[in-house]
A and B are shown apart, each in its own frame.
Chain A
Amino acid sequence: MQAAESQAVAPAPVAAHPHGVRRIQPSSWFVPIDGRELWRYRELLRFIVLRDVKSRYRQTYLGPSWAILRPLVTLVIFSAIFGGLAGITPGKGVDIPYALWVTPAVVVFTYVSTALTNTASSLVINSHLITKVYFPRLFIPLSTALTPVVDFLLGLLVLGGVFAYYDRTPSWHIVFLPAFMALMVLVTAGIGLWLAAFSARYRDVVFGAPFLVQIWQYATPVIYPVAFIPSTYRWLLDFNPLTAVVEGFRWSLLGLPFGSFTTLAASIGIGLVASASGLFAFRRTERLMVDML
């Protein structure tokens, strides 16, 4: 009963099976997305998001109020320091209080910051699942990028509050807000996938992500208007896909002029490229992720 014997018998092919026959083998450098499988497991994504939403604020005193408190405190600090002390204004001839002007950007970055830092550590945190059972690993960073959308929606209450405080109403452009929200999630998920793919091998990503978010926030016209940048360097902002998101939020909520369509097109382009390449980077890491976690 040696191994050699079972080899000596010409191996009968594995019969066709109603549930299909799968060949498990080392994959090549290019791992295509298995759409059928993602579809079959689609409900898992829902349950992971549910789990993360429900357990996010466990053992906290303030609970989901954190989702309101974070953007609220940030906007008060920004208004006091940058709007008050530093005297930054939304621009010449713009009749909008700084606090109202900064809030849409604060809400956007609260989401970006939570989503990116969480996706960066999502594989490490969920390694107990990844090492024990097979499922499309893609759902881990994806659900982690989607979960803070709930916080984001709660954060919109802060926005409503600030509008009410200044007794203003949003522009009719608000109907386009969901499109910019989608762009925000696309860009964040794309970068998040890259971070997640790297985090399996290099734990540095987990420590680097909050730092990255901080730098990104200063590189985006959050606390200062685009006009603040000398016009010769302004094109640099087009390479930041979040510029269009922040500008888009201000356009749809406050009725401010939108920079340019180049900015928007660049943002959508970068968002799509980041997501597509992030997907493939992740797929490539996915196959051996277990051995590294």
Chain B
Amino acid sequence: MIGWLRQHVRALRLALRRFAAGGTLSALVIGVALALPTGGYALLESLRGLATRASFDPQISIFLKGEVKRAEALALERPLRADRRVAKIRFIPREEALKELNAVQGLAEVTAALGQNPLPDTYVVTARGEDLDPLVADLARMPGVAHVQSDSVWARRLAAIASAGRLALWLLASVLGIGLVSVTFNTIRLQILTHRTEIEVSKLIGATDAFIRRPFYYLGLLQGMAGGAIAIAIVWISLALLNREVAVLAESFGSGYRLTFPGLPDAIIAIALAGLLGWLGAHLSVSKHLRQIE
């Protein structure tokens, strides 16, 4: 048992030494390549957070036609309140909407130039339940309604973009995963060539195959894990920089929204996965190339 452990410690130290001598550049290549899907994943998770938050409180805006009189507009309140699918309603008269618009810096001059108020009277309806489509259709048929816009459409579009993005990311991650395996395969191949004499001599004087393979497996594992760690670092730094800009943008919408960093479990999974792929590359390389040395 102690002997076995000693063998592994020896192999690991050897692998560390070889990694320090020439594996760091490969790890950097792997890291940059993996940063792409990892960063994409982080962005998508942020986007999904945005999508779910939006649909959490489904709102429908009902824009009335410009020629609708105030009394007619207010008359719509009763049937709206009577609808069981509607939780809350708020009427925004066109004057108030204009006032809100004017409050936004710089827009007052624009609206003043128009001469008249271009905005319609609006109802903002908060719906009960998830399925908004029938309600939206019914609302659109009410008299005097010009246009009904459901936030959930945006939420759904966002979710659709996110899921398409996720699929694209998986494809990207698969391709780059294969890339990682090949980079490791090649690194290990070069290592085997470099240490050919040592391997030959070791075999002649009684080294087992496992003994000879072990340092290469560790090297593949280390290189993969280092690549994964570099990818995570790149993503964190990029997100931190992006978040400064996002914060400014979000605050202009009165939102505290930020891009979310991949959590510690995600980081550990990414590093472990990269290590596993490195190990796989080493395995393929060692199986192919060590057999040629007898």
Are A and B genuine complex partners?
A: no
Chain A residues packing against B (C-beta within 8 Å): none
